[in-house]
């Protein structure tokens, strides 16, 4: 018997001559290659004799599934007719983003869709795209930065503090927030999210736990930020019983870091293998939620979303402690996520790739840019938008275009005109890269109502 496990070994064991052999070799190569061949064969025999008992196992579950109910790989065709959809602020959205949505609406699993007024071209689903599907989750419909999130904490501190203590606030952001791939906090904090079962039972996630622990409380590159600013509460009937007026606020935007990125990469690959689609829509490959991989992705995605929330908790706890104040309100919401939701009386999977949940009464925060205000909003529960709203102002210029079009001095002038101090930030994140937030808000009046406004004053981004 050779040292390396082969398909012949599995056939000798009694495995059927079908795809279960390839799946078994793939799983063993991925997760068990350091174990002795005899031990692996012993375990494989147990699975073969009683696959039902291994259905929920992280490593052997997929193999058990291939023995009990093999996933049939068939080349999928697009429907000729699109599922129903609605577009908000159509005149402000580039044609390519619309065509990306139109393609997604022709998927055999598509039920309904919508495009938010901040929409622009992305990978798979457009940014600002919302898609409801039947019992299927599209990893690229969620996106690479799973559970990317906004979080605003409001403090009972006068806004004059922003000017009077500007230097101290800048130091807080410089020294106590971490950005990009390599910066981490010297003093690490623990969080209950790390005691979750998924970190033990899903092999891929288990391998990522150390990385996730190191990156807790840090923010990504690109358009992620932490900023101090002025909060104006304009709705006297707000949920926190706050008086109308101005307060100091901390707003952060970041996601699930390396944990989410690796989950997205792994399960996107799985989806493309199990769901071959025409080349131009291959990134919309889905996982059936009745399969082992579909269920595993769903658990991993939800864990990544909770981890993203834990990161924001850590960021705001660190800064709140330095401020010496407790928040009087906290507003937060995911985008880049999928939810189970009723659509026309049927339970669907609703993907929001850069879109904010906006069910009736649901609170959210929609940022503008580093020089434009963001808005605290309350959802109106519009069913045509699949209970969604925009996740920000949305880009009008790509990152490449920004580097061609703008200079550092253009950005400095814009910051000075708006009284904003910037720490870090590249030309690709120039304030001019974004659509006019007032136009975007105007185009979604039927989706959300405004509760308050956040105006950035001191902004920290990746270098």
Nearest of 412, 360, 415, 432 to residue 389 by alpha carbon: 360
Tokens of residue 363, six digits: 């609170």
Stretch 422-437: mean pLDDT: 95
Express each pLDDT in 181-193 by its tens digit: 999 999 999 999 9
User: Could you give the strand order of the β-sheet that contains 337-343, starting from the edge strand earlier in sequence?
Assistant: 85-87, 110-120, 127-133, 346-353, 337-343
Stretch 154-164: mean pLDDT: 96
Express each pLDDT in 32-62 by its tens digit: 878 899 999 999 999 999 999 999 898 899 9
Does residue 93 or residue 59 have the better pLDDT?
A: 93
Stretch 267-275: mean pLDDT: 93
Residue 203 clears pLDDT 80, i.e. is over it: yes
Q: What is the 3-state secondary structure (H, E, C) of 178-227?
A: CECCCCCCCCCCCCHHHHCCHHHHCHHHHHHHHHHHHHCCCECCCCCEEE
Query: What's the CA angle centered on 321, arms 316 and 325, to 5 degrees?
Result: 95
Q: Which domains does the chain have, with CATH numbers?
A: 7-68 (no CATH), 149-461 (3.90.1860.10)
Residue 133 clears pLDDT 70, i.e. is over it: yes
pLDDT of residue 73: 83
Residue 207 clears pLDDT 60, i.e. is over it: yes
Of the given ranges (68-72, 401-405, 413-417), which has the lowest mean pLDDT?
68-72
pLDDT of residue 74: 84
Stretch 320-333: mean pLDDT: 97
Per-chain mean pLDDT for the chain = 95
pLDDT of residue 121: 94
When pLDDT is cut at 50, 70 and 90, the band that residue 2 belongs to is: low
pLDDT of residue 4: 83
Residue 129 clears pLDDT 60, i.e. is over it: yes
Nearest of 371, 430, 434 to residue 119 by alpha carbon: 434
When pLDDT is cut at 50, 70 and 90, the band that residue 1 belongs to is: very low
């Amino acid at each position: 018997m050779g040292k390396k496990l082969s398909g012949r070994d599995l056939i000798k064991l009694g495995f059927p001559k079908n795809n279960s052999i390839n799946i078994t070799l793939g799983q063993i190569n991925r997760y068990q290659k350091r174990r002795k061949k005899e031990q692996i064969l012993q375990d494989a025999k147990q699975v073969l004799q009683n696959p039902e008992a291994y259905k929920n196992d992280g490593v052997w579950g997929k193999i058990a599934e291939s023995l009990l109910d093999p996933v049939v790989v068939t080349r999928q065709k697009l429907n000729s007719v699109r599922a129903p959809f609605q577009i908000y602020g159509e005149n402000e959205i580039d044609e390519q983003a619309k065509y990306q949505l139109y393609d997604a609406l022709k998927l055999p699993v598509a039920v309904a869709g919508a495009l938010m007024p901040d929409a622009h071209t992305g990978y798979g689903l457009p940014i600002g795209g919302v898609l409801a599907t039947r019992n299927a989750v599209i990893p690229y419909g969620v996106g690479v930065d799973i559970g990317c999130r906004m979080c605003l904490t409001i403090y009972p501190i006068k806004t004059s503090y922003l000017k009077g203590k500007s230097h101290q606030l800048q130091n807080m952001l410089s020294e106590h927030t971490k950005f990009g791939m390599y910066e981490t906090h010297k003093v690490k904090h623990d969080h209950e999210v790390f005691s979750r079962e998924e970190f033990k039972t899903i092999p891929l996630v288990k391998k990522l736990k150390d990385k996730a622990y190191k990156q807790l409380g840090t923010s990504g590159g690109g358009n992620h930020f932490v900023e101090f600013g002025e909060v104006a509460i304009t709705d006297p009937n707000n949920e926190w019983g706050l008086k109308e007026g101005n307060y100091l606020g901390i707003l952060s935007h970041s996601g699930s870091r390396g944990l989410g990125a690796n989950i997205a990469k792994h399960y996107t690959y799985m989806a493309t293998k199990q769901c071959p689609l025409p080349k131009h829509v291959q990134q919309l490959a889905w996982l059936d939620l009745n399969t082992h991989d579909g269920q595993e992705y769903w658990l991993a995605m939800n864990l990544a979303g909770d981890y993203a929330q834990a990161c924001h908790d850590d960021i705001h706890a660190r800064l709140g402690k330095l401020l010496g104040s407790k928040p009087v309100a906290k507003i937060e919401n995911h985008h880049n996520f999928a939810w189970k939701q009723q659509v026309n009386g049927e339970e669907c999977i609703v993907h929001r790739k850069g879109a904010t949940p906006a069910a009736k009464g649901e609170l959210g925060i929609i940022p503008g840019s580093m020089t434009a205000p963001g808005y605290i909003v309350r959802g109106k529960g519009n069913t045509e938008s699949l209970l969604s709203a925009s996740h920000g102002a949305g880009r009008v210029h790509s990152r490449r275009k920004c580097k061609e079009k703008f200079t550092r001095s253009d950005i400095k002038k814009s910051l000075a005109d708006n009284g904003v101090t910037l720490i870090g930030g590249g030309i690709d994140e120039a304030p001019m890269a974004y659509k006019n937030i007032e136009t975007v808000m105007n185009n979604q009046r039927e989706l959300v109502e405004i509760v308050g406004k956040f105006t950035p004053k001191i902004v920290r981004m990746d270098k």
